[in-house]
Amino acid sequence: MPEFPDIVVYIQALDKRIQGQTLQRVQIASPFLLRTVNPPLSSLEGKKVVRLRRLGKRICVGFEDDLWLVLHLMIAGRLHWRDGKPKELKGKSKTIAAFEFSSGSLTLTEAGSQRRASLHVVQGENGLQALDPGGAELFDLTLDQFAAILQSANHTLKRSLTDPRLLSGIGNAYSDEILFQAQLSPIKLTQKLTHEEIERLFAVTKAELSKWVGILHQNSGTKFPEKVTAFRPGMAVHGKYKQPCPRCGTKIQRIRYAANETNYCPTCQTGGKLLADRSLSRLLREDWPKTLEELESIKTNPRDASGKT
């Protein structure tokens, strides 16, 4: 699933191509994509793009009259750009939507048979906030605010980093990389963290997200980012099961539960302890969402930054 770095780079690329441009025509091939009826999708046609922004893992395109098109790519949704008009969409194509602008065309594809990507059309800031899970923007936080949010409930670090009610835009892939660089166990409970560990995690999280934004931007250059994937060669642990740790050489291990997978180095992160799936089943059942849809459908913070319910 595209996360903070991927979404930021997508928005940077879109800003260069559709800012100030008029949306001339929209095609929707999948009946499962559009999740709203009012305002109608057709109300965007003929209007100029005036602003782009990120909302968690969503891409928000703002039009005249304070209308917003909000895309959530989920696992298999990807965006593509081409000069000129898009092709007419066919029912069984991977392309499920096409947006024709005065400057070119943006298409949305979704691999596989399951249709999880979503498109909303909303009015104004209130409409956007209705889609916001409520997680804080990491780069807007002080260390004390980050600590308060992280320890507002006693969950595993993996769950807390990826909980959209707590922090905005971090998912499965980059949380693995963050925890590896911070040398922290994915199952360490947040209320057991020392001040030094929280300080280290805060610095590493910002550094990793910034680093990957830079890498992805450099990889795409002036072209539209096409190679958006959760598994990248430069990653240290994510998707590297049984490959050597780049820091110590130990084989990377993983925890698998339902549709979730966590990758970690036993030597660098868990004191040499192997985290067996069956021994963690109770912890994972209680602390992790069972599906990605469950995680992404969470809308409100369970606690505020002070820890009050």
Output the pLDDT for position 221: 93
Instruction: Give me the pLDDT at residue 42, please.
Output: 96
> Contact 82/104 with Cβ under 8 angstroms?
yes
Strand, coil or helix: 263: strand
Higher-confidence residue of 31 and 150: namely 150
For residue range 212-268, list pLDDT tens digits in order.
Answer: 999 999 999 999 999 899 889 999 999 999 999 999 999 999 988 766 789 999 999
- Top pLDDT among 92 and 83 is at 83
Q: Which residues are CB-contacts of 223 (< 8 A; sequence separation ≥ 6)?
A: none
| 3-class DSSP assignment, residue 238 | coil
Of 32-36, 59-63, 219-223, 294-298, the poorest mean pLDDT is in: 294-298
4-129 carries CATH number 3.20.190.10: yes
How does pLDDT run across 46-78, given as a tens digit for each residue?
Answer: 999 999 999 999 999 999 999 999 999 999 999
Q: Determine the average pLDDT of the residues in 18-46.
A: 96
Task: Give the residue-averaged pLDDT of 113-117.
Answer: 85
pLDDT computed for residue 26 by the predictor: 97
Q: What is the mean pLDDT of residues 136-147?
A: 98
Residue 209 pLDDT exceeds 80: yes
What residue segments make up the domains of the chain, in order of their start?
4-129, 138-296
Question: Which pLDDT band holds residue 33 (cuts at 50, 70, 90)?
Answer: very high
Q: Specify the pTM.
A: 0.89
Q: How would you list the strands of the sheet with 95-101, edge to edge?
A: 23-28, 95-101, 104-110, 77-82
Answer for the pair 48, 20: CB distance below 8 angstroms, yes or no. yes
In this prediction, residue 293 carries a pLDDT of 60
Residue in this structure with the two tokens 């691999």, named with its chain if needed? 111
Residue 115 has pLDDT above 70, yes or no: yes
**3.40.50.720, 3.40.50.620, 1.10.8.50, 1.20.120.1200: which CATH number matches 138-296?**
1.10.8.50
**What average pLDDT does the chain have?**
90
Confidence of residue 285 (pLDDT cuts 50, 70, 90): low
